[in-house]
Structure 1
Amino acid sequence: ACLGSKGTFSLSASDTSDKNRVKSRLKKFITRRPSLKTLQEKGLIKDQIFGSHLHTVCERENSTVPWFVKKCIEAVEKRGLDADGIYRVSGNLATIQKLRNFFSCSISPRVFPEEKLNLDDSQWEDIHVVTGALKMFFRELPEPLFPYSFFEPFVEAISKIETIKSLVQKLPPPNRDTMKALFGHLTKIVAKASKNLMSTQSLGIVFGPTLLRAENETGNMAVHMVYQNQIAELMLSEYSKIFDSEED
């Protein structure tokens, strides 16, 4: 750059050329930058939590219930059982996304120190943010908590508790154990229904479409929704009968 006749700076031809060269390189970098999906497929990013298959998350953590699910359940049971409309009331979406991003990578306790996972921190003060993030986790699973291949069998087994119980026992361990943890938690919500106003039916409506759906929804969405709600309600109302053989 040089000083002009009126005391102002002007760019020389070489400066302009350098500037254009930098712009060109930046543009090429941005257009060629691999997507998150590409990085995951190549194994360069391995700790994505939201949007990963349940078995992948559990294998990475050497567990059958994702750590994030456990942390959210603990937080709700600690300070949210009496909250009016718990799981039905929506938290602030921007804050939920912030929590999602905070936990989206390296959630494993081997990578993410315990002290950094304090859901009692003031920024997560609204318990509906925690429940919103937990619902988002289940909603973003590539395959629902109730695997696609189990959807029809569960629909056909409605009201047949022993058949439902048998189906649960046939589920892959991550699905079975995560299901047990979640519905066991939801029984504690129902136990406080006089305060939080969340009945078995209310929770069935909230969780049914999130936890199970048909792989192909063509033309049957309304019918499927009824089944989704009913199955979620049944899993909750008959929890002890369905999961009793799984008790420690």
Structure 2
Amino acid sequence: MSGIITSLEHLVEERKEGYLNKAKIADGGKKMRKNWSNAWIILSGQKLEFHKESKQQALSNLKTGNKPEWVDLRGASIEWTKEKSSRKNVFQITTVSGNEFLFQSDIDLIVLDWFHAIRKVIEKVPKELSFTSKNLELRIRKSSSTELLNFGNESKEEKPENRKSLLFKLNYSASDSSCDRKRVKSRLKKFISRRPSLKTLQEKGLIKDQVFGCHLHILCERERTTVPQFVRKCIEAVEKRGLDADGIYRVSGNLATIQKLRFIVNQEEKLNLDDSQWEDIHVVTGALKMFFRELPEPLFPYCFFEQFLEAIKNQDYDTRIEAIRCLIWKLPQSNHDTLKILFAHLKKIVAKASVNLMSTQSLGIVFGPTLLRSEKESGNMAIHMIYQNQIAELILMEYDKIFSSRED
């Protein structure tokens, strides 16, 4: 107990306040429906509080007895995540009790500042603090009974016969659970040994080759092309009925409809984007962006990331263009050709910027981090994002020079 108090005394209290978008996606390990909301968040010590109102309103509510929702950061984990949400700049906190929260902000510096502040607290708080005096009261519950046993300071001395009865029940329950585990393990082994191979399932048509999440060169080899058919179809649909759409590629489509389109693309060979269910062009653009985000390796391969960053840092503009041009011509054929057709399409978007309000800079912000990213996230994420945007902008502005043939 004295060790716990000593650890608490040495804990450096961190305090930070501000607005973030928040969504709770799991409660005690049970998954929940994601529902984003804007919250005033207070980081205080090893605790993260959530308020619906601003600082002053939150303080007045506390005075009237309203208790805010809060998270205990002791033993928690924090990480960046792209799989849990289509939004950018999302990080996840998972508590020892199995609660999971997503936090997000469109402003890079704000979300980075929050991420590092919370991670600093988690790293400083000893994980053993989760075993505080409240947890010293051991409670043993059995799902089939309402019987509750307390081993706290206030619990009464139990009779010897009751103890024997309880020990028998616990031992019986443990041995019964052990037998269940052995049976399950045995059945799993039999199932795994008898399961058909991936090739057999594919031959029978039970498992189809995926489009989303597939390596670009594998997908292109399978389709016998250098640009995926899905990319071509999306571009054709946008150029047919979306060039004038306000905020094209910036405005998000309905996520559920995008996921439905993703499922159909992965399961069926034929896709008609002129179908009425894909009437919202933002669903098509959302699916195309998702395709590029889910590539196991981005359109600009990881091994080229640092080289492109060094190229864009050149002070001389012509040298910068030539450096980017040389790197693009070194890309694998499928990456080069897909990049070429994509940016030719984006040039058409920029040509109608007066109508769709999507400038070169706007498209750079949308596509820079999607097409070019580091294999390992680092503290330089905000700086990298600036360069990623600039690279996409430069390719758009100097498309003809960059994609001209090697001989030119």
Question: If the TM-score is normalised by the length of the shorter chain, which range does it land in?
Answer: 0.7 to 0.9
**Superposed, which structure 2 residues align to 1:168-247 within 5 Å?**
168-245=328-405
Taking only aligned residues, the RMSD between alpha carbons, in angstroms, comes to 2.6
Distance 1:49 1:212 in 2: 20
| One of 56, 65, 69 as aligned partner of 2:227 | 65
- Structure 1 SS opposite 2:405: helix
The letter for the 2-side match of 1:75 is: A
| One of 14, 28, 49 as aligned partner of 2:211 | 49
Q: Please state if 1:137 is matched with 2:291.
A: yes
Distance 1:163 1:212 in 2: 16
**Superposed, which structure 2 residues align to 1:104-143 within 5 Å?**
104-106=266-268, 112=269, 116-143=270-297
Contact kept in structure 2, 1:144 and 1:213, CA below 8 Å: yes
Distance 1:39 1:191 in 2: 51
Q: Which has the higher contact order (CA 8 A, sep 6+)?
A: 1
Identify if the C-alpha distance between structure 1 residues 241 and 46 changes in structure 2 by more than 3 Å, giving closer, same or farther.
Answer: same
Gaps of 5+ in 1: 1-27, 107-111
Q: Please state if 1:75 is matched with 2:212.
A: no
Contact kept in structure 1, 2:253 and 2:280, CA below 8 Å: yes
User: What are the Cα deviations for residues 98-128 of structure 1, in whole angstroms up to 9, with x where unaligned?
Assistant: 000010145xxxxx2xxx4210110000000
Distance 1:228 1:39 in 2: 41
**Superposed, which structure 2 residues align to 1:19-58 within 5 Å?**
44=202, 45=207, 47-58=209-220
Identify if the C-alpha distance between structure 1 residues 41 and 194 changes in structure 2 by more than 3 Å, giving closer, same or farther.
Answer: farther
Shift of 1:40: 6.2
Identify if the C-alpha distance between structure 1 residues 225 and 151 changes in structure 2 by more than 3 Å, giving closer, same or farther.
Answer: same
Tell me which stretches of 4 or more aligned residues in structure 1 moved more than 2 Å.
38-46
Number of residue pairs the alignment of both structures matches: 209
- Aligned position for 1:94: 256
User: What are the Cα deviations for residues 18-63 of structure 1, in whole angstroms up to 9, with x where unaligned?
Assistant: xxxxxxxxxx79xx69xxxx97699844511100110110010010
The letter for the 1-side match of 2:322 is: E
The letter for the 2-side match of 1:87 is: Y
Shift of 1:218: 1.7
Distance 1:135 1:246 in 2: 29
Distance 2:242 2:217 in 1: 28
Shift of 1:215: 1.0
The structure with the greater share of residues assigned to helix is 1
The letter for the 2-side match of 1:155 is: L
Contact kept in structure 2, 1:40 and 1:46, CA below 8 Å: no
Distance 2:230 2:211 in 1: 9
- Aligned position for 2:57: none
Gaps of 5+ in 2: 1-186
User: What are the Cα deviations for residues 76-110 of structure 1, in whole angstroms up to 9, with x where unaligned?
Assistant: 0000000000000000000000000010145xxxx
Shift of 1:207: 0.5
Identify if the C-alpha distance between structure 1 residues 148 and 122 changes in structure 2 by more than 3 Å, giving closer, same or farther.
Answer: same
Q: Please identify the structure whose Cα radius of gyration is greater.
A: 2
Identity of aligned residues (%): 74
Contact kept in structure 2, 1:51 and 1:142, CA below 8 Å: yes
Shift of 1:163: 1.3
Identify if the C-alpha distance between structure 1 residues 68 and 169 changes in structure 2 by more than 3 Å, giving closer, same or farther.
Answer: same
Distance 2:199 2:350 in 1: 41
| One of 147, 153, 167 as aligned partner of 2:301 | 147
